[in-house]
Structure 1
Amino acid sequence: MPPAPPPYIGRFAPSPTGPLHFGSLVAAIGSYLEARSRRGSWLLRIEDVDAPRTVPGAAEGIIATLARFGFEWDGEIVWQSRRLDAYRAAFEQLTAAGHIFPCACTRREMADSALARDGSRIYPGTCRNGLPPGRSAHAWRVRAEGTVAFDDRIQGLQEEDLVRDVGDFVVLRGDGQFAYQLAVVVDDAAAGVTDVVRGADLLGSTGRQIHLQHLLGVATPGYAHLPVVVNTAGEKLSKQTLAAPIDALPASAALAAGLEFLGHTPPAELAHGPLAALWAWATAHWQLDRVPRRAHAQAPAGLAATGS
């Protein structure tokens, strides 16, 4: 008889670069309901590893907004800024195994490189075999090798040739900041995360993360990438596109709109009723198969209005 699968552990991991917007809410709803429908745990992690981009007070605002919307996380909140020793240990493990090399290339020098699908520049391998004479490291990169393939539960089969499509990628910047790609892999492994449900804007990061998981010898979770919410111009809702915060919106109405975006239509009266009733309906009716199989979709009217 095959062994029973491990208990489901999911997570929501916002970056405190500003308040939550409707796109953030959609990602939180999808990850939360998938965990609860599977009778699993839902963890909350604040991804503040990139100190220069962290906005003071944003994390506390995110936590308060999630609580006001009725999200209930399991265990203590994890703060990436308090886990630098774990990232350093993983970096040293990769270095000792020969997977990391120093890179002297600047952003200006890479400006003509082709774009990966997540918008980053594909590294041409300039420093792969050693730093040019007289140059010092601006970053440390992991060697990209092989092809990564995985079956995303929403977006379908994904395949990425790491050398061709991504190139060697940064895990430690010259300013001492560990990269998101390394931190998220270390944190998911430490928490025993079995399934990652997040926005499709991060689909292009998944190949790199699976590559790091293999190099570090940790488990690869299952992945499901939800459609990204975009504004009328087709831009992802974000601080950069002045997405309106949701912290002051009526919670039940905004939650119902998020459910509809994800292919679930609660009874109209629940959008104006108590949150507990809407959450009970959502948990009982949630099915990941109902989520639209697309990479992005426009926000409902009034929920992508620009902030000031």
Structure 2
Amino acid sequence: MGSLVAAVASYLDARAHHGEWLVRIEDIDPLREQPGATDAILESLERHALYWDQPVLYQSKRSEHYEAGLSRLAAAEKLYWCPCSRKMLARHNGRHQYDCPTIFNAAHDTPAPAESALKFNQATTDWTWQDAGCGTQKFHTTTISDDFVVKRKEGYYAYQLAVVIDDIDQEITHIVRGQDLLDSTPMQLSLYDTLSTPPPFYHHTPLVCGQNGQKLSKQNKAPELENTKVRENLRYALEFLGLPVPETMQPCDPETLLSWAATQWLNTLARNTRNR
């Protein structure tokens, strides 16, 4: 249900701004991919009348674009190879075994050590942005301790890199997603800044949580979304987002419910801002 809420929120935001709603399949980690998961996601979206406006983008087919992005970041001297494990870094309070940013700088054609991840050298700075869902956000980042992986030692591209390159290539202007990704925003702003690209507008929505307070997700063994209960699912998602469906519209088909909700979306955002 949590994924549906996020999808509905982003869909309504796109429709309310007279924009396009795009679907992207983040399938760059084969170790976590479940057989049939992609088909199930797309089927569920269609069953809930969440129709996308461009062909689905599959990250697994975009390696050359991510490599081009890495080349630009390396040319800006923002990447370095790091053989240090998470356990080692934690044990030494974030300090590297070697001076990785200097010794293994990716811009200097230095051979990568065995079993190394490629990291982005984060700036020590303050990041501020106006979030449509959470208000003014301020994050402080520190070089070395807040550096992050852009390509894993197994050769897989990291989430932060892939989504920013995709957002730039697809000319994304608005990102609507769950608050569990709020902490990712400073990392992505760093990449936008280095790539000399204005960032999109961000809107982080509340998370759907179970009785134990944990986010409803597959990792937490949340029940799967039932595609046989489309109206009930949409009514729940809309009410969760502050758009309770009027009783007279309860029997309406999914397309009608979403069209009505899109006309109310911007007013709901304004009301939530005033009440924040």
Q: State whether TM-score is above 0.5.
A: yes
Whole-Å separation in 2 of the counterparts to 1:165 and 1:270: 54
Whole-Å separation in 2 of the counterparts to 1:231 and 1:158: 26
Whole-Å separation in 2 of the counterparts to 1:190 and 1:147: 26
Bigger drift between 168-177 and 246-255 goes to: 246-255
Choose which of 125, 128, 138 in structure 1 pairs with 2:101: 128
Partner of 2:121: 143
SS at match of 2:87: coil
Amino acid paired to 2:130? D
CA gap of 1:185–1:208, structure 2 versus 1, over 3 A, is: same
Amino acid paired to 1:84? S
Amino acid paired to 2:209? V
Are 1:262 and 2:241 matched, yes or no?
yes
CA gap of 1:248–1:185, structure 2 versus 1, over 3 A, is: same
Deviation at 1:179, TM superposition (A): 0.4
Deviation at 1:249, TM superposition (A): 4.1
Partner of 1:102: 81
SS at match of 1:171: strand
Whole-Å separation in 1 of the counterparts to 2:36 and 2:191: 31
CA gap of 1:147–1:235, structure 2 versus 1, over 3 A, is: same
User: In the alignment, is the contact (CA less than 8 A) between 1:264 and 1:290 conserved in 2?
Assistant: no
Amino acid paired to 2:270? D
Partner of 1:228: 207
User: In the alignment, is the contact (CA less than 8 A) between 2:177 and 2:204 conserved in 1?
Assistant: yes
Partner of 1:199: 178
Whole-Å separation in 1 of the counterparts to 2:144 and 2:231: 42
Structure with greater proportional helix content: 2
CA gap of 1:84–1:148, structure 2 versus 1, over 3 A, is: same
User: What is the total number of aligned residue pairs between the two structures?
Assistant: 264
CA distances 1:202-261 after superposition (whole Å, capped 9, x unpaired) = 000000001001111222101010001111111111111111111434101110110110
SS at match of 2:199: coil
Q: CA RMSD in A?
A: 2.3
SS at match of 1:223: strand
Report percent identity of matched pairs.
37
CA gap of 1:65–1:88, structure 2 versus 1, over 3 A, is: same
Partner of 1:238: 217
Are 1:153 and 2:124 matched, yes or no?
no
Query: Under a length normalisation based on structure 2, what TM-score does the superposition of the two structures give?
Result: 0.89
Whole-Å separation in 2 of the counterparts to 1:275 and 1:104: 51
Deviation at 1:138, TM superposition (A): 2.0
User: In the alignment, is the contact (CA less than 8 A) between 2:122 and 2:144 conserved in 1?
Assistant: no
Gaps of 5+ in 2: 105-112
Query: Under a length normalisation based on structure 1, what TM-score does the superposition of the two structures give?
Result: 0.80
Deviation at 1:130, TM superposition (A): 2.6
Gaps of 5+ in 1: 1-21, 115-122, 295-308
